[in-house]
Amino acid sequence: MKIVSFVNQKGGCGKTTSAVNLAWQLAERGNKVILIDLDPQAHATMYLGINPNLSSADLFEEFIKNPSVDLNKFIHSRGDNFFVIGSSLGLSSMEQMLSSRSDKLEVLVQILNNISNKIFNYDYCIIDCPPNLGILTLNALLASKYAIIPLGICELSLRGVNNLHSILGMLAEFKFKVPSPFYLITQLDMRYKFSEIFLKRVKETFDGRLLSTMIRTNIHLREAADAGKTIFEYRRDSRGAEDYRKLAEEIEKLTKDISWVQFLLKANNLKEVYVVGEFNDWQKSENYKLRKLTPNTWFIDLPLRKGEYRYKFVADDRWFNDPLNTTVEDDAFGGKNSILRVS
């Protein structure tokens, strides 16, 4: 199951609209999809016209008491291949309830493992996070393989990203796991000069991580939300439907044709770090340069096809194997190669 979180601490950037319409379109394309509304404001739940008897708040509460709880009763069928766990205001008290637990950041991981193993073989799980970087959002990030960060055409959406990067660095340093981040432009209106300037800046900042699909402004998206429908139920011929159809195609390609493999390194006093291996002919290049998440944590994730690869890190002209990977073999120079198997 491919788990994708929509996250940005700034509200009004198209996070819920994108989560709901992507989930619906992925389901229409033949995937089994479950959408989890993790926002106490329950916007995704209302967007879909759902009034759940049991919400994600109830799921967390019952699961904490009894991990073998029947998860089916929390899942609402909203269409062919499309299932939803709705939210309610009661979720706002969950962060306080979780804060005293040693596993407070990994409860959702446990829930999703149960959903994946015991109910259906879902292809995708889409999580709509609250507009903050609290415990619920951290649960979603730790559970996810991918994070999509919507960026509305405004400076505040970029400022929110800086805080998110700090959180990702913290997770990488303490949990050795972060989702692969991708950025999605929303509310795009190229009639305005500022949109052109903003778009150029975002492309320069997030080169390689910016999704090619961009969501244009479209009044039908707002009308669909007011009607409790996805854009595909409301106006299939609209510009909004066209954009989210393209987004679903792009996400399928990103997540099905290749696997995103994460490389993490914890080390002090390094200037630059690269990963080299059989996947890039052992060549040190800027495309394989790790970025610094914290002063002591370096990170990159790469799209790789199935297979077995040997690799090393290169830092300040010193070559060494991955200290977090225990699968190694001797190399021809008296050192060790790390071995990575991508399935």
Are 165 and 304 contained in the same domain? Answer: no
**Beta-carbon contacts of residue 252 (< 8 Å; ≥ 6 apart):** 26, 29, 31
Domain span holding position 274: 259-342
Local structure of 201: helix, strand or coil: helix
Q: What is the mean pLDDT of the chain?
A: 89
Q: Which of 256, 272, 302 is the last residue of a domain?
A: 256
The gap from C-alpha 151 to its chain's centroid, in whole angstroms, comes to 14
For residue 134, give the CATH number of its domain.
3.40.50.300
| DSSP designation for 179 | P
Local structure of 72: helix, strand or coil: helix
Are 67 and 205 contained in the same domain? Answer: yes
Structural contact between residues 341 and 295, judged by C-beta atoms closer than 8 angstroms? no
Are 239 and 107 contained in the same domain? Answer: yes
d(CA 147, CA 198): 21
Where does residue 294 fall: left (phi above 0), alpha (psi -120 to 50 degrees), or beta otherwise?
beta
Are 132 and 181 contained in the same domain? Answer: yes
Chain segment 133-189, per-residue pLDDT in tens: 899 999 999 999 899 999 988 777 777 677 787 788 778 777 767 788 899 999 888
The predicted model gives 68-97 an average pLDDT of 89
Are 167 and 244 contained in the same domain? Answer: yes
Return the pLDDT at 242: 97
Tokens 């739940």: give the residue: 45
For residue 307, give the CATH number of its domain.
2.60.40.10
Q: Which of 211, 229, 256 is the last residue of a domain?
A: 256
Its pTM stands at: 0.84
Are 199 and 50 contained in the same domain? Answer: yes
Tokens 């969950």: give the residue: 94
Local structure of 184: helix, strand or coil: strand
Are 266 and 252 contained in the same domain? Answer: no
Chain segment 270-329, per-residue pLDDT in tens: 999 999 999 999 999 988 999 887 788 888 888 888 889 999 999 988 999 999 899 999
Are 217 and 80 contained in the same domain? Answer: yes
Q: Which of 256, 286, 312 is the last residue of a domain?
A: 256
**Beta-carbon contacts of residue 73 (< 8 Å; ≥ 6 apart):** 54
Are 183 and 329 contained in the same domain? Answer: no
Tokens standing for residue 252 = 């399928």
Which amino acid, one-letter code, is at 53?
Answer: N
Are 202 and 64 contained in the same domain? Answer: yes
For residue 12, how many other CB atoms are within 10 A of its CB? 15
The gap from C-alpha 69 to its chain's centroid, in whole angstroms, comes to 26
Are 338 and 207 contained in the same domain? Answer: no
d(CA 54, CA 288): 46
Tokens 């649960």: give the residue: 139
Provide the domain count of the chain.
Answer: 2
**Beta-carbon contacts of residue 174 (< 8 Å; ≥ 6 apart):** none
Are 157 and 223 contained in the same domain? Answer: yes
